A and B are shown apart, each in its own frame.
Chain A
């Protein structure tokens, strides 16, 4: 019984962390059809922002929940203005340019921070469930993921900002005719996506530690979650993250973490083959 609870928490955590690392990418891909291969590095930068902030004395919570998204969001806007905006509608070229950006950022962080793992200890300590102990921080990550997903849904669905963003992505010319400034919407959307990546990187930094090439570990998982989820941002991310997170955690439980990861990637390939439009291309089509 205790084991079942622990396993359930682990599965939930796997789902939450997948959703968290994918959401920024999902927004940028779902709304702007831009594939950002530097997404993993945005997460990495979020982690560094949280750690640097903590060392500068801002406190863990401020660094993680405010500084990390703000810093990476700012970087995102700069990247959109200097690189991405020249490449709208050229999906492959965007992938290549952002891959270059990813290498560039890895090189830059190695130069600044060195090629070592830095970490901060996770708060809250341990949580006892019967005979087992698990980190209470796990529950915090699940809570943050839920809050962020809910927040994005509400903003997109029920606010004027979300309406303008969705309208611009559907038909930029029409939106421009109605008085919206599409380039600004693009820049803000990309910035928001980057900020969410920064937040995810910050929140996960105490769990995984941060080093310059950690983005590589994130990018493939985030990528397949977004592609597997399909066009709908929130529903797609949640459904794909649930599927892949469960598979990953159960396979990890049965074998080793490495084969858990391999099972996740394998499942993703099969899913993309069966549902090229992603889960929300077939099911939950009216989702958002």
Chain B
């Protein structure tokens, strides 16, 4: 099986599974499970945004939550003001993308290297968190939407069918929309990465100087990648604000940013399916751990239900032991097994030293 055929088979498998899941899940599961599944889909979109920016673009953004939160807040504020969801939906994607582009211009055209990039994105997240957190008073409002400070914005109206404000999405509709958008994001990113643009982005990640000497402007490519990542995170934020009908400043928090990074690390950098699987696994784990939190007996069960402790241990463990993440490591292992089982017929007596 050639590499190309393998890729196509993989794509077909993801498409078949995704479509089957999209169409069948609402018929099989209870409504509360569907609600959980919806948030997994939304978080997977968020994970894809960092999977692109970090895994393919090589830009370690410690503040992906900033764009996520910005998308959620944009949607909430615009929706409360307008009452019809087409424009708020588009704004929730455009504004984070614009903000990412601005920040990216500031960073990449200033030739700021990776570590400093991490610091700046982290700082920006904190600025947003601090600012929004302190806007509790009634004097802080945009149009008719009060920002609410640490109380957040409650009862955000849901998305509706474009042009028909009375046809709002119900919970099942939210599931269909989130899953469809996740699939669209996944395949859209696959197409983007297979294009000339995507190849150059990966080339810049591998060796920035070389890409530059070949005539590509790494700053521009990084800026574009970063802005696309911001747009996808904003989309996820918009859906998240819909899902709970509520946003609060904690979605700008460091804990949120840490989670996104853990998803991508666990799933694997340089893949798109990895961040999706990582986010689902970790979200499931957090939900399960959080559900036990009420024991309060101070025993070992309490230690296990302590989400930061477990997530922190997972992050340390993965960086030290599985730095490439699950999907690439497993794929490598499977590939090696396959090759051992089926020795290539043409290269019969080749000695092992070639490794």
Q: Which residues of A are at the interface with B, using a C-beta cutoff of 8 A?
A: 35, 83, 86-87, 91-93, 95-97, 99-108, 110-111, 216, 220, 223-224, 227, 256, 258-259, 261-262, 265-266, 268-269, 272-273, 276
The 7 closest A-B pairs by CB, nearest first: A107-B309, A100-B315, A104-B312, A103-B312, A107-B308, A100-B316, A258-B134
Q: In the complex, which residue of chain B has the Cβ closest to the Cβ of A215?
A: B254
- Provide the bound-state CA to CA distance between A64 and B232, in Å: 48
CA distance A234 to B91 in the complex (A): 47
Q: Which residue of B lies closest to A107 (CB)?
A: B309
Chain A contacts of B309 at CB under 8 A? 103-104, 106-108, 110-111
On chain A, the residues within 8 Å of B110 by CB distance are 273, 276
Q: List 15 A-B contacts (CB under 8 A).
A: A86-B320, A91-B114, A93-B323, A96-B315, A99-B258, A99-B261, A103-B311, A104-B313, A107-B310, A216-B254, A220-B126, A224-B119, A265-B124, A265-B126, A276-B116
Cα separation A35 to B309 with both chains bound (whole Å): 21
CB-contact partner of B319 in A96, A102, A256, A262, under 8 A: A96
Further pairs besides A95-B60, A110-B308, A265-B130: 10, Cβ < 8 Å: A86-B320, A104-B308, A104-B316, A110-B306, A223-B119, A224-B119, A256-B134, A258-B133, A258-B134, A272-B120
| Residues of chain A with a CB closer than 8 A to B314's CB | 100
Contact B134 A276 (CB under 8 A): no
Indicate if the CB atoms of B307 and A107 lie closer than 8 Å: yes
B106 to chain A: which residues have CB within 8 Å? 269, 273
* Interfacial chain A residues near B120, Cβ < 8 Å: 269, 272
B112 at the interface (CB under 8 A from A): yes
Report which of B107, B115, B258, B310 forms a contact with A91, defined as CB distance below 8 A: B115
Q: How far is the CA of A137 from the CA of B242 in the complex (A)?
A: 49
Interface of A is mostly: helix
A110 to B309, CA, bound (A): 9
How many Å lie between the Cα of A104 and that of B123 in the bound state? 22
Q: How far is the CA of A184 from the CA of B258 in the complex (A)?
A: 32
Q: Which residues of A contact B258 (CB under 8 A)?
A: 99, 103
Q: Please indicate the chain A residues that have their CB under 8 angstroms from the CB of B123 in the complex.
A: 220, 223-224, 265, 268-269
> Are the C-beta atoms of B316 and A97 separated by less than 8 Å?
yes
Please determine whether A100 and B313 come into contact, CB atoms closer than 8 angstroms: yes
B81 within 8 A of A: no
A102 and B312 contacting across the interface, CB-CB below 8 Å: yes
Q: Is the CB of A96 within 8 A of B261?
A: yes
> Which B residues from 49 to 83 make CB contacts under 8 A with A?
60
Quick check: B119 and A227 within 8 Å, CB to CB? yes
| B residues near A95, Cβ cutoff 8 Å | 60, 115, 118
Distance (whole angstroms) from the CB of B59 to the closest CB of chain A: 11
Q: Which residues of A contact B156 (CB under 8 A)?
A: none
Taking a contact as CB atoms closer than 8 A, the residue among A100, A111, A227, A265 that contacts B127 in the complex is A265
Interface of B is mostly: helix
Residues of B within 8 A of A87 (CB): 319-320
Q: Is B122 an interface position by the 8 A CB rule?
A: yes
CB distance from A41 to the nearest CB of B (A): 10
Q: Are A276 and B122 in contact (CB under 8 A)?
A: no
Residues of chain B with a CB closer than 8 A to A276's CB: 110-113, 116
Query: B302 in the interface, Cβ–Cβ < 8 Å?
Result: yes
A92 to B264 CA separation, bound complex (whole angstroms):
14
> Which of A83, A99, A223, A227 sits near B320, CB closer than 8 Å?
A83
* Minimum CB–CB distance for B226 against chain A, Å: 16
Query: Which bracket fits the contact residues of B?
Result: 35 or more
| Nearest opposing residue in chain B for A108, CB measure | B309
Report the bound CA distance from A72 to B254 in whole Å. Answer: 23
The reply on B19 being an interface residue by CB < 8 A is: no
Contact A99 B114 (CB under 8 A): no
What is the distance, in angstroms, from B102's C-beta to the closest C-beta of chain A? 12
Residues of B within 8 A of A216 (CB): 254
Would you give the shortest CB distance from B215 to chain A, in whole angstroms?
25
The interface residues of chain A lying within 8 Å CB-to-CB of B303 are 111
Nearest-CB distance from A114 to chain B (Å)? 10
Q: Report the separation of the CA atoms of residues A93 and B124 in the bound assembly, to the nearest whole angstrom.
A: 21
Which residues of chain A come closer than 8 Å to B33, judged between CB atoms?
A: none
Contact of B292 with A by CB under 8 A: no
| Bound-state Cα–Cα, A76 to B351, Å | 48
Cβ distance A89 to chain B, nearest Cβ, rounded Å: 13
Indicate which residue in A92, A111, A269 contacts B306 across the interface (CB closer than 8 Å).
Answer: A111
Residues of A within 8 A of B114 (CB): 91-92
User: Given the complex of chains A and B, what is the CA–CA distance between A96 and B320 in angstroms?
Assistant: 10
Contact A103-B319, Cβ < 8 Å, known A223-B122, A262-B130: no
CB distance from A77 to the nearest CB of B (A): 17
List the A side residues contacting B112 at CB < 8 Å.
272-273, 276
Contact A227/B319 with A99-B261, A265-B123 known, Cβ cut-off 8 Å: no
Whether B265 sits at the interface, judged by CB under 8 Å, is yes
| Pair A258/B130 contact, Cβ less than 8 Å | yes
A177 to B154, CA, bound (A): 65
Residue of A nearest to B54 (CB): A92
Chain B residues with Cβ below 8 Å from A35 are 115
Determine the chain B residues whose CB is within 8 A of the CB of A100 once the complex forms.
262, 311-317, 319
Question: What residue in chain A is nearest B127 (Cβ atoms)?
Answer: A265
Q: A1 to nearest B CB, angstroms? A: 32
Residues of A within 8 A of B307 (CB): 107
**Bound-complex Cα distance A91 to B317 (A):** 17
Could you tell me if B124 and A269 are in contact, using CB atoms closer than 8 angstroms? yes
Is B131 close to A, CB under 8 A?
yes
Residue of A nearest to B121 (CB): A269
Q: Shortest beta-carbon distance, A222 to chain B, in Å?
A: 11
| Bound complex: CA A103 to CA B111 (Å) | 31
Taken residue by residue from 28 to 66, chain B's Cβ proximity to chain A (1 for < 8 Å, 0 otherwise) reads as 000000000000000000000000000000001000000
